[in-house]
Amino acid sequence: MSTVTVFASDGSWIESDAVDQCHQVAALEGVSHVAGMPDLHPGKGAPIGAAMMSTVLYPFLVGSDIGCGIAVFPIGLKRAVPEKLAGRFPDLDVEPDAGDPAWDVLDGDVPAGHLEGLGTVGRGNHFVELARIGTVLEPDHAARLGVAAGDVVLVVHSGSRGLGERILRAHTEVHGAGPAADPGAYLAAHDEAVRWGSLNRRLMAARVALALGAEPAAPIVDECHNLVEVRDGAYLHRKGAAPGDGRDVLVAGTRGTPSYLVAAHAGAEAGYSVAHGAGRKMSRSDALRRGRAKHTVEELRRTPVGSVVVCGDRQLLFEEAPTAYKRIEQVIADLAGHGLATPIATTVPLVTYKTAELGPRPRRDRQDHRRGRGRS
DNA sequence: ATGTAC
């Protein structure tokens, strides 16, 4: 008999479709337990914000962005004027040049020999953000991490780009949503994607540090929230759920609100996991439709916390509007209330890079494309 | 979230 537990308070609204998806996963052969995080929301087939324990390995429960995660890097900047720094970000939609010194941080290590997309951020909810440590709730723990109020850090949320997608597709083309026929082979490829994702975050952080006149540094936190690990003799699948057993994790807010560094201490019932972010409150299509009625592009590019969002794609800007996400404070309160995590400090955005402002990216005429469709 | 197909 399998179980589903959702770690959210009554005050936290969770879409019923997402809970339905948890029960659908729980009904799969081999699945013993599904833990829903407070940022639980519906995904493509499987819920996002869930840890799923099973004796059978299901690649689709991890999804295509194997190795996606969030890392935090120290960056030695004192004065940080968002408008000035925004213009100095490198183009993270394209790989670094062959001679770029940022490559040095990889020491020639290119997992799976996959160079395509290495050093690029991708789309969707991915971002590279310069942020300032705001409220410090656990000074001793923050000091152990080497950060204090006012320090500038770099937060990188990205994954394995085309590599993870290729690994999942190779499986689904033959087995669809079925189990991995050769779990060992899947895990070997998966582990390379996890490593690739982490190195990708590291490379991007180096690119940005060098572009802003700072030294590349090792991450103080690097957590992967799309992966599978062998745990308690079974496969623990995480989809939008960060490893939460004695590790420090950055739980991402939105591009106009703080994020939270937390000390995670989740047990078996929570799938040894914590939330990975605020969680979507609206689908991308709803966010676009409602956002166009509610926000101007200008207010999304210059946020209530005074940060600048670099995003040459208007549709993405609306899809990723802070109002499309749940309140991060509620997610953190739910984690703390259930004993899954202790907040250490907040990070407050200064500059968030989503996608290049100008450049060679071909852009469709959204006005014509959208006219006559949907409501206004 | 992705590369690719429309």
* Domain residue extents for chain A: 3-355
Please tell me the predicted confidence (pLDDT) of residue A376.
23
Instruction: Quote the strand ranges of chain A, DSSP E.
Output: 3-6, 31-41, 48-54, 69-74, 127-136, 152-158, 221-224, 226-231, 234-239, 241-243, 245-251, 259-265, 273-275, 308-311, 341-355
Neighbouring C-beta atoms of residue A281, cutoff 10 Å: 16
Using an 8 Å Cβ cutoff, are A238 and A266 in contact?
A: no
The separation, in Å, between residue A122 CA and nucleotide B5 C1' comes to 19
CATH superfamily of A3-355: tRNA-splicing ligase RtcB (3.90.1860.10)
pLDDT at A162: 96
Active site annotation includes A276 = yes
**How far is residue A372 from each of residues A148, A292, A295, A375, measured CA to CA in Å?**
52, 15, 20, 8
Q: Is A213 labelled a binding residue?
A: no
Cα R_g (chain A), whole angstroms: 20
Active-site annotation holder among A171, A190, A276, A338:
A276
Which nucleotide's C1' is closest to A240 (Cα)?
B1
Name the amino acid, one letter, at A188: A
CA dist A121 → A83, A113, A207, A277, A336 (Å): 21, 18, 11, 17, 30
Query: Which pLDDT does position A359 carry in this prediction?
Result: 54
User: What Å distances lie between residue A368 and A174, A365, A372, CA to CA?
Assistant: 39, 6, 9
Cβ of A363 less than 7 A from strand B: no
pLDDT score, position A371: 33
Task: Check residue A78 and give its pLDDT.
Answer: 87
Q: pTM for this structure? A: 0.94
Helices (H) and strands (E) in chain A, counts: 10, 15
pLDDT, block means (10 residues), chain A with 376 residues: 93 91 97 98 94 98 97 94 96 96 96 97 97 98 98 98 96 95 96 98 98 97 98 96 97 97 98 97 93 93 96 95 96 97 98 84 39 29
Determine the residue type at A337: G
Instruction: Tell which strand B nucleotides have any atom below 7 Å from a protein Cβ.
Output: 1-3
The whole-number pLDDT of residue A13 equals: 87
Q: How far is the CA of A337 from the C1' of B3 (A)?
A: 41
